Structure 1
Amino acid sequence: MAEDGVVTLYNNTAITDTKKNPVSIKVGLTQMLRGGAILEVSNTNQAKIAEEAGACCLVITEPNRQGISRMPDPALIKQIKRAVSIPIMSRSRIGHFVEAQILERVGVDYIDENEVLAIADEFNFINKHNFRCPFVCGCRNLGEALRRVREGAAMIRTQGDLSGTGNIVETVKNVRCVMGEIRILNNMDEDEVFAFSKKIAAPYDLVAQTKQMGRLPVVHFAAGGIVTPADAALMMQLGCDGVFVGSEVFDNCSDSYKRVRGIVEAVRHYNDPHVLVENSCGLEGEMAGLNVSEESMEQFGE
């Protein structure tokens, strides 16, 4: 990505030196996660299981609690950082740049500006150019993805189900939407790109770059409802670079290592049916707590 892009003026009250980590370096740091599974954990035991199972990165979240959901306790982040050796990611609320400043200071490797948490600013996202730490942001379509990239996101996460039910339908819909819009863009005449960028409300230079590359200009993961090896392989075959796996894979499970390991292997060998069969065997009992309720099915049937 060009260093001398349209956005060159950043907040002069930033408490971090952005020159130490330009956008190209941040994008390079997220490239290290390609082809991997990022696991959501809330304690050191889950973190160790995820690391042993082959997770490429951990997302630290607070255990389930009532009320407003915020960034995790910095003490929990430090505790898990001491327990594992793989990269650490943590979530901040949308628009809450002070939470991001705290997370960067604590020493996380990546910050996820996440819509799962309560929203701090309804109209403005964090200016991610003001931070050394690479940011991850969610999207549901191509325009949203490229707007987050313009704000400084170094990784895009196509988000699906937010409730942790294990239902992948929303994730599939949004991933297909992003990939479908990229295919439409790839087949456009150069003169049509101007109108297309206006239609999806995305910066023209990033739309043109996406057309030239044939993909998003940053690493693209999928998140939401991914709880089986088949789910993970589906996201990879649809064109994603990796997957986020929620903490629900650790719930009501007698052998969470087996489940996590199966998902990790499915991401690595998503086009090998023999590996997928091997890692899908014996998981039926492990998925008992991740069934979609009849009430949810009725909503989708309407």
Structure 2
Amino acid sequence: MDVINAEQAKIAEEAGACAVMALERVPADIRKEGGVARMSDPKKIKEIMAAVTIPVMAKVRIGHFVEAQILEALSVDFIDESEVLTPADDQNHVNKHDFSVPFVCGARDLGEALRRIAEGASMIRTKGEAGTGNVVQAVKHARTINHQIRIAKAMDSTELYSYAKELGVSHELLKKTAELGRLPVVNFAAGGLVIVS
């Protein structure tokens, strides 16, 4: 549940939320106004963490390792390297192996999902268009990932090697995914969709 203050976090917890995402404002609104959507104010995150007993997550911009270091120092429960924030680096994501706090990252297809996992993501998310409530894109991305896994599962070792190159991912990680018939980490879709993990 997205929250912007301690009061909302308490309400979310009382309503049964299993975790809250600490936000300063809705990122889509910030971008619409021409602003830079970045990590929430650490003071606000601390207030939210002090108000609830459930896990608190917070977002960092793609590639912004310093924001991730700040969140780790605050002891958040999960870091979301989020595509809804204004990217800090359009070429590189945060090396999540450098952190002890688990990361969740978004993915639109199998290649993106496996690259984020290779970087150290503990969870993959597919989601609709941020701030709209429209889950069409979440459904599309979930179907795409599942379809590409089925394709990989049907391939022989030579084809799988070529497919790994095509997707820009590790052959070993793709092979493991094909053998499992699913991503090797938890995969969830925002917006009320359920994906078997």
TM over 0.5: same fold? Answer: yes
- One-letter amino acid of the counterpart of residue 115, structure 1: E
Cα deviations by residue, 1:94-149 (Å, 9 ceiling, x for unpaired)? 11100100011011011111010111111111111111111111110000000011
Q: Find the partner of 1:93 among 61, 82, 101.
A: 61
Q: Find the partner of 2:6 among 25, 37, 44.
A: 44
The question of whether the paired residues in 2 share the 8 Å contact of 1:145 and 1:156 is answered with yes
Structure 2 partner of 1:293 = none
Structure 2 partner of 1:158 = 126
Q: Find the partner of 2:17 among 40, 55, 61.
A: 55
Structure 1 partner of 2:142 = 175
Structure 1 partner of 2:161 = 194
The question of whether the paired residues in 2 share the 8 Å contact of 1:222 and 1:240 is answered with no
Paired-residue identity, %? 53
CA distance in 1, matches of 2:51, 2:173: 39
* Residue aligned with 2:39, SS: coil
* Residue aligned with 1:184, SS: helix
The question of whether the paired residues in 2 share the 8 Å contact of 1:81 and 1:88 is answered with yes
The question of whether the paired residues in 1 share the 8 Å contact of 2:127 and 2:135 is answered with no
CA distance in 1, matches of 2:179, 2:12: 37
Cα deviations by residue, 1:192-241 (Å, 9 ceiling, x for unpaired)? 21111112111111101101111101111113xx2xxxxx2xx21xx255
- One-letter amino acid of the counterpart of residue 123, structure 1: Q
> How many residues were matched structurally?
191
CA distance in 1, matches of 2:70, 2:135: 33
Q: TM-score, normalised by structure 1?
A: 0.61
- Whichever of the two has the greater Rg, that structure is 1
* Residue aligned with 1:132, SS: coil
CA distance in 1, matches of 2:177, 2:86: 31
Structure 1 partner of 2:49 = 81
Deviation at 1:55? 1.9
* Residue aligned with 2:104, SS: strand
Say what the alpha-carbon RMSD is for the aligned residues.
1.3
CA distance in 1, matches of 2:151, 2:17: 34
Deviation at 1:40? 1.3
Are residues 1:206 and 2:173 paired?
A: yes
- One-letter amino acid of the counterpart of residue 116, structure 1: V
* Residue aligned with 2:189, SS: strand
The question of whether the paired residues in 1 share the 8 Å contact of 2:97 and 2:120 is answered with yes
Are residues 1:127 and 2:95 paired?
A: yes
The question of whether the paired residues in 2 share the 8 Å contact of 1:42 and 1:62 is answered with yes
CA distance in 1, matches of 2:158, 2:46: 51
1:112–1:240 CA distance, 2 compared to 1 (3 A): farther
Q: Output aligned runs, 1:1-302, within 5 Å.
A: 39-64=1-26, 65=30, 66=33, 67-162=35-130, 164-223=131-190, 226=191, 232=192, 235-236=193-194, 239-240=195-196
- One-letter amino acid of the counterpart of residue 205, structure 1: E
The question of whether the paired residues in 1 share the 8 Å contact of 2:38 and 2:61 is answered with yes
* Residue aligned with 2:105, SS: strand
Structure 1 segments, 4+ long, off by >4 Å, are: none
Q: TM-score, normalised by structure 2?
A: 0.92
CA distance in 2, matches of 1:160, 1:204: 29
Gaps of 5+ in 2: none
